[in-house]
Amino acid sequence: MTTELKKKNSEQSGRENEDSNSYTSDNYKINVDIKMSNFASSNGANPSDGDIHSLTKWKLFKVLLLRLAIALIFLVISLIIQGFFMIYSDSYYKRYTTPLSDRIHNLFENPPEWISYKLSNNLIALLSITFLQLILFNSVYLSMAIVCRFLYMMGFFYILRGILIYVTSLPATLETCVPLESGNIAFNLLQIIKINMNLVYVCSDLIISGHSFSTTIFLLFALFYVNSVVLKTLITFLCFVIYAFIIVGFIHYTSDVLLGFIFGIFIFTFYHLMLDISSQYYIFNKLFEIKIISNKKNVQAKPFFLRCFFTRVFLKIIPFLEGLNYSLDYALSKNADFSTFCICEESAMAMPAAACSLQKSSKENKICVNYSDHLFHSYAGDGTINFLLFKFLRRIKMD
């Protein structure tokens, strides 16, 4: 689709392209020239992109597996970076520093004995089972993409949190906290392993509660990826119980828990918004030839999200991080199997032959582009519980 924006000129208003549909506004005339050869046909074929149809499920699996390995390495590096910042921050910490005044903590002289750091960890471990259920009862291709998203969000948070912990050391919630011992690089690496295994604790591990952030991420995965209202309600209740225990147990200041909640919502929402924008941007540029021409000379018109360098970088990075473009390519392929990402095969008779197709609209001056749910299932899932992962593993065993 070639879209040309021309300023309305009264002297040239009578000259219009006969092969285009014209829409006139007060200041501009938009001519839409449609080249049918650039659209996906009703059977899903795209003459200009034959490589799409050569992508097999096994090739897609190898691409996503490589992305998963990269995401895991990124998380490990992030934990190491955060660990070093924590240890160096504790080297400045002095024991018996007076804790900050906290409105909720002031209601309790001391934390209840039955609420402990270990209890909060156990509750988060219980919460992680719901995330594990999302991974196991889904398509292997979608599961790997979901794990990549989780690892990248957690890794980015750990790096950011490590920097904040180092630049500002908050007093521990308890005066009796003993700073963690530090040494050479090898000794500190061993300490980092102990920190992540909850064998030792850091006094300065406060700014932006990691417990609150991970709880929020698990909650949002349930709210966005699961259809069951009952399960969503139970998970939400458990999350707020965890938030309360973290505060009442003097594990974090109330502000730390609130910041963890806010950062969790922001990072999760930003990642998934960029995921949606990246997918739509890729699909339209894959199927259509789009050109936006400015009314000013030598100036290309851009939407807001493309004017910012930061969003343009994410627009390119996110598809690479989890292999999004490969998943979309397979979903757009005429040879795509509906059972790859979801259980669409059970209702395949009611679905169009392609994930995206074009037809003439019943409304005047309109073009109807049909989007199948299957196209969104390739990266967002359908929210249902299925056994496609086990089906995939059984197929590999048979081969």
Distance from CA of residue 300 to its chain's centroid?
A: 30
Is residue 257 assigned to a domain? yes
Closest CA to 154 of 235, 203, 210, 234: 210
**What would the two tokens of residue 90 be?**
């504790």
Number of domains in the chain: 1
- CA 391 to CA 262: how far, in whole Å? 38
Q: Report pLDDT for 48.
A: 42
Q: Report pLDDT for 125.
A: 93
Question: What is the CA angle 308-142-41, rounded to 5?
Answer: 75
358 band by pLDDT with thresholds 50, 70 and 90: low
Is residue 224 assigned to a domain? yes
Closest CA to 142 of 17, 326, 357: 326
Region of 365 (left: φ > 0; alpha: ψ -120 to 50; beta: rest) is: left
Is residue 322 assigned to a domain? no
Distance from CA of residue 176 to its chain's centroid?
A: 40
pLDDT digits 0-9 by tens, 57-112: 888 899 999 999 999 999 999 999 999 999 999 988 888 888 888 999 988 888 88
Q: Report pLDDT for 186.
A: 93
Q: pTM for the whole thing? A: 0.81
Is residue 146 assigned to a domain? yes
CB of 99 closer than 8 Å to CB of 105: yes
Q: Is the pLDDT of residue 33 over 60?
A: no
Q: Is the pLDDT of residue 31 over 50?
A: no
Which residues in 47-84 are b (16+ Cβ under 10 Å) and which e? eeeeebbebebeebbebbeebbebbeebbeebbbbbbb
CA torsion sign for 162, 166, 172, 177 is positive
Question: What is the CA angle 307-313-314, rounded to 5?
Answer: 105
- CA 77 to CA 106: how far, in whole Å? 38
- CA 63 to CA 15: how far, in whole Å? 51
Distance from CA of residue 294 to its chain's centroid?
A: 33
Is residue 386 assigned to a domain? no
Q: Is the pLDDT of residue 4 over 70?
A: no
Domain housing 209 = 57-275
Q: Report pLDDT for 390.
A: 81
Q: Is the pLDDT of residue 20 over 90?
A: no
Q: Report pLDDT for 29.
A: 33
Is residue 184 assigned to a domain? yes
357 band by pLDDT with thresholds 50, 70 and 90: low
Of 15-24, 244-253, 279-288, give the range with the top mean pLDDT: 244-253
- CA 333 to CA 326: how far, in whole Å? 11
Q: Tell me whether residue 381 is exposed, middle or buried, using C-beta atoms within 10 angstroms of its C-beta: 0 to 12, 13 to 18, 19 or more.
A: buried
Is residue 70 assigned to a domain? yes
Q: Report pLDDT for 378.
A: 84
Is residue 318 assigned to a domain? no
